[in-house]
Structure formats: C-alpha cells, structure tokens
Amino acid sequence: YGREVSTVVKKEFPAFLEKNLKELPMEEALHKTFAQTNQAISTIVGDIEFSGSTGVIVIIDGQQVITANVGDSRAILCSFEKGGIQGKAITRDHKPDEPDEAARILASDGRIEAFKDSDGEHVGPLRVWQKANDVPGLAMTRAFGDGAGVV
C-alpha cells in the first residue's frame, strides 16, 4: 500500500499545514501536520503495518527556506558556483546509525541490527526492528505509516 500512503500524504499534508499555520508558529504547525497526516493514513488506507512513505517538505517564505522531512529522502539545494552546479544537503536522513536516532529507538523499546541471512550472518544496512518481533525492519528510523517497522 506504499502508493496509497504516498497519495494520502500528497493530498492531506498541504491541507493540514495550511490550517495549522493559521493557528500555530511554523515549527509547531509542522509537527502537528506530520502527526495529523500519519493519523489520516491509518484512517484512509487502513492496514499500514508494512506500508509507508518517506517525505521531504520545502517551504519558501520570501528569502527563508524551511525544510522538514521524515525518513531517508533528502532535499538538496543546488546553486551555480565555481563554473558548475553545486549541491548541498539541506535535510538529514533519519537512519539508525545516527546517534540521536539510535538513542530514540532504543528508548522506545526498539532494536537496531542488520537483517540476518539463513546462516544468521548480518547483511545490509542497520534496520529498526520491534524488540520482540522479527518482522521486516526498516533501514530508516521514521516514516509516514509503516506501523511494523518504525518505533
């Protein structure tokens, strides 16, 4: 249901943000909008245990650029410099190898480890897992939806 989750995010996020910005400062409005969008996904899509989406929001307000993101999608600001185009990341991926994200996951009773193959050997990137369940873990620490893989 990943496509359905993404469709809900695309449709609902702007409407929630517009309403919230009338009542709250930008940072609070963004936090509330992410939470409302996630709730809408549960209501509209239904079973999102193994379905989710990442997201990057970029707001341009005059000369100010405001970003917010969830997951491992990254916003890159490109500019013409030194005879070419230079790119600079303006968001940070939410990955389990980031110390603050790892601390949050572990404090929320999650676990972090790579997937294990049939021989019990770790393969691939670190993933977030529920502590007691071996359901598919995500290689990111935050997502819209995806009830099983994100803590």
32-79: pLDDT as tens digits? 999 999 999 988 887 777 778 999 999 998 999 999 999 999 999 999
Residue 35 in contact with residue 142, Cβ under 8 Å? no
For 55, residues 6+ apart whose C-beta sits below 8 A from its C-beta are 9, 13, 69, 70, 71, 73, 144
The CA-CA-CA angle for residues 104, 110, 114, to 5°, reads 105
Tell if the pTM clears 0.85, that is, is over it: no
pLDDT value for 149: 59
User: Distance between CA 61 and CA 11 in Å, rounded?
Assistant: 21
